[in-house]
Structure 1
C-alpha cells in the first residue's frame, strides 16, 4: 500500500530520544569503512592520469586499448554491483568485502606482471569484479543508528572525493619512479591493508532496513522506468563517460607540450584544489537560493566550455589548465549534487534499489567512456574525443528539460513487528493523515513502514503519541 506525495533527503530514527553525536563505535566504523572504500577507489582512479603515458611500452598499445584498459573495471563493477550487495545479505558483509578486496588485489597483481595491454585489461576486469560498494554501505548502515546514518554516509562519500584527488597526484608520482607496474603493486598493497581493516571492523548485531541500503529485485523494473530517476542515472553515466574519455587524450597532449609526465601532478593538484574552492560556493548558493536546477545546468555549461577549450587550445598549456579547472568544477559539483537529487527522488522504501541502479550506471559510464573514447581517438584523433564530449553534454542539457527538484524531506521507518494486521492498518491510516507526511509505504514481508515527511513541517511528537497509543 503506497500513499504518494513529494520527496526526500535524509534518514532518521523514529521517535526515540537519541544523541545528536556519533558514538565512539560509530566513529570507528565510519573511519574504517571510509578507508576501505577510498583505498579501493584510489587504486581504480590512479590509472587515469598515467596509463596513456606509461602504457606505451606494452604490447598492443593503441588509443582503443587505452580506453578499454582504463574503463574495463567499470564493466564488471556495473555488472556485479547489485548482485554483490545481495550476496552480502546471504553470506555476510565481511565475507563479501574480503572476497571483493581479494579479487581487487588479484587483478592488481595480474596487471603489475603484464607485458601486454590485453593482460592489463584483464587485470582491470578482475579489479572491477571486487564490487564491494553495496556491502560497505550496508555494513555502515548496520553499525550505525538510523538518525546518524546520513553523517556516516557523508563521511564515506567525502572519502571517495578525497581518494580521487589523491590518486591524481599520487599516480603520476609513483609511475615516475616505479613505472606502471609500480602503480599496480601499490594498489595491491592497499587492497591487502584494506582487508586487514575489514577484519578489525565489528560485525553488526542487527541489520538496517534492507530497502534503504540494498536493491530489491522486484523494484528494479519500476525504477528503471521512472522518468526523473532515468535522467539522473543517464546523467551520472555521462559524467563518468566524460571522465574516462578525458584521460585517453589529456596526458598525451601534456606530453606534446613538453610537460614531463613526472610533473603532471603539479598541474592536477592546484587545478583540483581550485575546482573544490569554486564548487563549494556553487553548492551553498544553489541550496540557499533554491536554484538547484539552475546551478545544475551551469555545471553542464562548464563541462561544455571545458570540452571546447580542450579542443580549440590543445597546444597551449594555460588553455589546457583553464579547461581542466572548468571541467573539474563542473564535474565535482555534479558528482556531489546528483546523489542528493537521487535520494530526494527515490520513493519511500526504495532508496537502496535507486542507489544500486545509480551506482551501476555510474560504473557503466566509465566503461563506455573508455570504449567509445578509444574508438573515436583511433578513428579521428585525440581531439575528436572532446568534440564527442561537448555533443554529449549538450544532449544532457536537453535531457534536463522537464527535470524537477522535489521538496526537501526526511526518511523515517516504523518497526511493526509487535503489531497485528488490524493494528498495522489502523496505524498506517493515522500516520498517513498526519500533516507533513508525503509518502508512506508498507512492506508486509519486513513488517516495516517507510515514510517520507516534509522537513520542518512534520510533528514527530504526534507520531510518538500514535505509536504509544497503538502499543498500549
Structure 2
C-alpha cells in the first residue's frame, strides 16, 4: 500500500534497487577486505586486536553517524544528503587505500563508516516516504535480497584481488563502488520526501524526536530485536576470518568459497521470505526467524566444541543465522517505523543505529572479553540468540496499533 503522504515519485522496483545498492555498501566494506585482515595485520606490523579494531571503529562511526544523517535528510531531502555522505565514503576509501600505518587506516575506516550510514538510514526512509504495510515489508525484503549480491561475490573478489595485488587495491574497489552509487543517485533517483514535509533542523526538535522514539515500546521492542539479530551477524563476520584462516588453516581462496555458505543461505532465506510475506503476518515471519536463530545459537554452542576441526560445525550455525535474518529483518524494520512516517528519517536512522550498534558492541566484546576468536564465537553467539528471544517476547507484549503522530515541536 502506498503511503498517503506522498505521490510515489519512484516505483517499488526502482526504490528497492537504489535502496539495495546503497545498503550493500555497508557489508561490502566488511566482506571485501575480510580475507585480507591477517595480511594487513602483518603488513602494518600491528596486532590482531588492532586488526579487529578496524571493524569496531567502522561499526561505531557507521552507527553514530546515522543520528546526524537521518535528521539532515528530514531537513534537506534524502537525495542530496545521501550523495554528500557517499562522497565521504569515497574519501575514506582512498585514505584507507593509501594508509601507511594502522592509524591512517583507522581514520579511513571511520570516514567509510560515516559515509555508508546514509545507506541504511535513507533507504528505509525512502521506503517509508512512499509505502506502508505489507508492501513496505515486501520492498524491504527485496532490498535485503539485493543486499546479498555484493557480500556474495565480495570475498571471492577480494581473494582474487589479493592474488593480483596488495590489500590496498581492495579499498580502491570500494571507492569505485561509492562513486558508482553517487552517479546512480544523481541520475537515477528522485527525491521521495515532499518539500512540505521537510522539517527545520533544530537540535531541540531532533533530540525530542529521538526521545519520542526511545520512549515508545512500539519502536524499541522491534529495534532491540533487530540490534541483537544483526549484531550477531556482524559479530561473527569479524570473527570468522580468524577462526577459518588461522584456526582451521584455510587458504584465502578456500575462505572465499566457504563464505558462499553464508551468502547462499541469506539469498535462499530472502527468496523464501519474500514468498512467505505474501501470506504471513510480520509477527509470523518473526516467529519463523526466531526458531532458526535459536537453532543457530545451539549450533554455535555445541558444534565447534564437539568437532573442533570441522568446518561445517562453524558454518551450519552461520547458515541458520543468515536464514533467520531474512525473516526477522524486514518485519522488525517495518514494525519499528510504522507509526513514525512524519519523522521517517530519524526513525530510519535510529533503527540503523540499533542494527549497526549491535555489531559494534558484539565485535568489541569479542575483542575485549575473549582470548581468541573461537572462544568468542562459541560463547557470545548463543547468548545473543537467547537475548533475541527475550526481545521478541517484549515485542509481542508491547505490539499495539499506534496512530501516526506529528513530530515534536
Compute the TM-score of the two structures, normalised by the length of structure 1: 0.70
2:233 is equivalent to residue 243 of structure 1: yes
Q: How does 1:40-59 map to 2 (within 5 A)?
A: 40-41=25-26, 43-47=28-32, 49-59=34-44
Aligned mate of 1:343, from 319, 323, 334: 334
2:213 is equivalent to residue 226 of structure 1: no
2:166 is equivalent to residue 173 of structure 1: no
Return the alpha-carbon distance in structure 2 between the equivalents of residues 101 and 32 of structure 1.
17
Counterpart of 1:392 in structure 2 is: 384
Counterpart of 1:129 in structure 2 is: 114
How far off is 1:229 after superposition? Answer: 3.5
Counterpart of 1:104 in structure 2 is: 89
Contact 2:226 / 2:328 at 8 angstroms: preserved in 1? no
Contact 1:71 / 1:369 at 8 angstroms: preserved in 2? no
Counterpart of 1:183 in structure 2 is: 170
Counterpart of 1:325 in structure 2 is: 316
Bigger strand fraction: 1
Counterpart of 1:253 in structure 2 is: 243
Contact 1:141 / 1:149 at 8 angstroms: preserved in 2? yes
Bigger helix fraction: 2
How far off is 1:233 after superposition? Answer: 2.4
Contact 2:288 / 2:327 at 8 angstroms: preserved in 1? no
For the aligned residue pairs, the C-alpha RMSD in angstroms reads 3.9
Counterpart of 1:429 in structure 2 is: none
Contact 2:96 / 2:168 at 8 angstroms: preserved in 1? yes
Structure 1 residues not aligned, in runs of 5+: 1-9, 409-437, 447-472
Return the alpha-carbon distance in structure 1 between the equivalents of residues 194 and 92 of structure 2.
31
Structure 2 residues not aligned, in runs of 5+: none
Aligned mate of 2:179, from 163, 171, 192: 192
Contact 2:78 / 2:193 at 8 angstroms: preserved in 1? no
Compute the TM-score of the two structures, normalised by the length of structure 2: 0.80
Counterpart of 2:268 in structure 1 is: 277
How far off is 1:310 after superposition? Answer: 5.7
Aligned residues: 396
1:163-202 superposed Cα distances (whole Å, 9 cap, x missing partner): 3323343333333433321111100111112222222135
How far off is 1:361 after superposition? Answer: 0.9
Identify which range, 248-257 or 199-208, moves more after superposition.
199-208
Return the alpha-carbon distance in structure 2 between the equivalents of residues 151 and 132 of structure 1.
21
Larger radius of gyration: 1
1:84-126 superposed Cα distances (whole Å, 9 cap, x missing partner): 1222343443332222111111111111112333322221100
